[in-house]
Structure 1
Amino acid sequence: MEHTYRVVVVGIGPGSPDYILPVASRTIAGAKVLVGSKRALDTFGTPNQVTRIIDKDIKGVLDFIECHLASQDVVVLVSGDPGFYSMLAALRGHFAAERIKVIPGISSVQLAFARLAEVWQDASLISMHGRKAADDVLRYRPGHKLGILTDTQHNPSHIAGILLAQGWPDNACVWLCSNLSYDNEVVAALTLAETTGTPGFEHSVMVVKA
């Protein structure tokens, strides 16, 4: 019976190897073909592995995976958890579900809420990393809680302005979490009004609580 090779999507957590599951570490160490961001490959790759950086040429990445999948499993590294705004969406659009195995990881949003000792079961978790969020998610209502992935354009200052326009109070609590799990981790506590004048914190997690 012919063996069916699979794409193994591994969540590598927020970045530090301390926050990666043992099964993920074993899978990465045993991989012959490894695909991931440059930082992920620099952190977890070894010289004897065939590697491909995930860049803007997503079709090229998918073609590379498909080519190597004919003879072996291909391990794809994604930041955080694969089920939360990752390369998994593109892989599911290209490969059948039975050809994909997913090993979960800890998302940066999950770690941000942990740093605050806050539950996130009642939060709206959204990404504004390269995308907009629906008004009904951003609109203020008492007790509302948000976990937001930011980017260069949709940085916390910009997002704070949007939330104020959506009726959030000036004194709503905001936490800006960057470089989570790294030695230079920062968790800054501000009000929403203060956040409008706060630069930086691009590619971070913004937690907002009414």
Structure 2
Amino acid sequence: MPHKIFLIGIGPDGITEQAAALLDRCPCVVASSRHRHLVPDGKEIIAITPVQQTLALVAERLQNGPVAVLASGDPLFFGIGRTLLQTVGPQQLEILPALSSMQLAFSRFKEPWDDARFVSLHGREAEHVLPLILPHDKVLVFTDRDNSPNALCARLLACFTAVDDAETPARYEVMVAENLGQENERLSSGSLAEIAEKRFNDLNVVILKRRPGPAAFPFGLESTALTHSRGLITKDEIRAVTLHTLQLPKQGVLWDVGAGSGSISVEATRLCPKLMVYAVEKKPEEQANIKANIRAYGCHTIKLVPGEAPALLAGLPDPDRVFIGGSGGNLAEIIATAARRLRPGGSMVANAVLPQTASAAPDLMRDHGLSVDARTIRVTKIEEKHNEELSPITIIRGRK
């Protein structure tokens, strides 16, 4: 029978008697620098990182006896437990969890956590952080040196300031717990602006708590509920079919080119809150409309990109989906750029009002190696006293 790995969680009170007894049985112990003092003399100590190298050494040592792995708190909560389960399997593991820093933080601030979400920012690039945070009213965040509490709060403030939103920041309370369970433990709380001005020890967790805004359904905004100019908005029925055709992923990048009022961006964000949406729009009046709609519906993961495509597309991350609502006469160039940058398995959708656009767009997409399908939608709105025939719209999709 193969030897076992004892995965031992270390809590604020150190190591338990049961864990100590298991540790005594193991000639080899995996531990970080924080936990090395807990290892009895005479044991071989393997550093916990780099993980792949450590796993290879553990596999060798298991030939000679059991191995102990020391980890903070609950090893299955954003810890090495998942990696070990995937690598060696559950049969070879015995797990002894301790209190996690998450539980300690919520207890210190006397805050229930059964309604919270949990996010780890370890190794995350800055542009991927906000879509993980903004959809939730209560979230505990495991930070790292680059994604520190003050940096996180500064990014949130910049996001709200970009759309002239002074109301949403006032709904946030931020709680920071440093060095939990240690003599130099420190608890801080304040507004986004207050925490953004402070500095913190690297060993911390953050709780972001936001007073809920008005409850709203996730899909189906009517045009009258969106700020727009002179009726220049993707009509409700066309918007519904467009979003269906886009087949949005839960996470990823959407370019909304010629975003107009931002109706597609807003509905996409409400459907998929973790999607990174870039609304490209050149008209100042429409840019103001987009900001207003972001504020109204709390869609702060939308990034307004003021200016004209395709030039501005060079600075955006590669998209999983592209919607072309307007091209400003640059349809060929926009499709060429989008097709080149589109990630494998991605798709672009263009809505055409004019017959020449409906004819040109499919050929342009095929020229760049996309498989194309299209549909023309004719909508008759039936009111109590009259019917309204809307102009037909052709929705063209190209898949990579």
The interval holding the TM-score normalised by the smaller chain is: 0.7 to 0.9
Larger radius of gyration: 2
> Aligned partner of 1:11: which letter?
G
* 2:24 is aligned with 1:26: no
Which residue in the other structure is 2:84 paired with?
A: 91
- Work out which of the residue numbers 6, 30, 35 in structure 2 matches 1:35: 30
* 2:10 is aligned with 1:12: yes
Q: In structure 1, what is the Cα distance between the partners aligned to 2:77 and 2:179?
A: 18
For residues 53-110 of structure 1, the C-alpha deviation after alignment (integer angstroms, 9 at most, x for no partner) is 2222x22211211111112111101112111122223322321221122111211111
* 2:182 is aligned with 1:182: yes
Q: In structure 2, what is the Cα distance between the partners aligned to 1:185 and 1:33?
A: 31
Q: In structure 1, what is the Cα distance between the partners aligned to 2:15 and 2:39?
A: 14
* 2:190 is aligned with 1:197: no
* 2:150 is aligned with 1:157: yes
Indicate if the aligned counterparts of 2:189 and 2:195 stay in contact, CA closer than 8 A.
no
Q: In structure 1, what is the Cα distance between the partners aligned to 2:198 and 2:171?
A: 15
**CA deviation after TM superposition for structure 1 residue 131, in Å:** 2.5
* 2:75 is aligned with 1:82: yes
Total equivalences in the alignment? 201
SS in 1 for 2:34: helix
Q: In structure 1, what is the Cα distance between the partners aligned to 2:62 and 2:123?
A: 30
Q: In structure 2, what is the Cα distance between the partners aligned to 1:84 and 1:189?
A: 24
Q: In structure 1, what is the Cα distance between the partners aligned to 2:122 and 2:16?
A: 25
Which residue in the other structure is 1:169 paired with?
A: 169
**CA deviation after TM superposition for structure 1 residue 25, in Å:** 3.3
Indicate if the aligned counterparts of 2:30 and 2:45 stay in contact, CA closer than 8 A.
yes
* Structure 1 residues 178 and 73: CA distance shift in structure 2, 3 A: same
SS in 2 for 1:67: helix
Which residue in the other structure is 2:52 paired with?
A: 59
Q: Normalization by structure 2: what TM-score?
A: 0.47
**CA deviation after TM superposition for structure 1 residue 189, in Å:** 1.4
**CA deviation after TM superposition for structure 1 residue 31, in Å:** 2.8
Which residue in the other structure is 1:124 paired with?
A: 117
SS in 2 for 1:169: helix
Q: Normalization by structure 1: what TM-score?
A: 0.86
Indicate if the aligned counterparts of 2:130 and 2:156 stay in contact, CA closer than 8 A.
no
Which residue in the other structure is 2:309 paired with?
A: none
**CA deviation after TM superposition for structure 1 residue 130, in Å:** 1.8
Q: In structure 2, what is the Cα distance between the partners aligned to 1:5 and 1:207?
A: 40
* Structure 1 residues 119 and 21: CA distance shift in structure 2, 3 A: farther
Indicate if the aligned counterparts of 1:174 and 1:190 stay in contact, CA closer than 8 A.
yes
SS in 1 for 2:106: helix
Q: In structure 2, what is the Cα distance between the partners aligned to 1:175 and 1:90?
A: 30
Indicate if the aligned counterparts of 1:7 and 1:101 stay in contact, CA closer than 8 A.
yes
**CA deviation after TM superposition for structure 1 residue 128, in Å:** 1.0
Unaligned runs of 5+ in 1: none
SS in 2 for 1:119: coil
Indicate if the aligned counterparts of 2:26 and 2:65 stay in contact, CA closer than 8 A.
no
For residues 20-72 of structure 1, the C-alpha deviation after alignment (integer angstroms, 9 at most, x for no partner) is 44433332344322111022112x1011222212222x222112111111121
> Aligned partner of 1:36: which letter?
A
Which residue in the other structure is 2:319 paired with?
A: none
> Aligned partner of 2:71: which letter?
V
* Structure 1 residues 11 and 46: CA distance shift in structure 2, 3 A: same
Unaligned runs of 5+ in 2: 211-400
Q: In structure 2, what is the Cα distance between the partners aligned to 1:134 and 1:185?
A: 26
**CA deviation after TM superposition for structure 1 residue 10, in Å:** 0.9
Larger RCO (CA under 8 A, 6+ residues apart): 1
* 2:42 is aligned with 1:48: yes
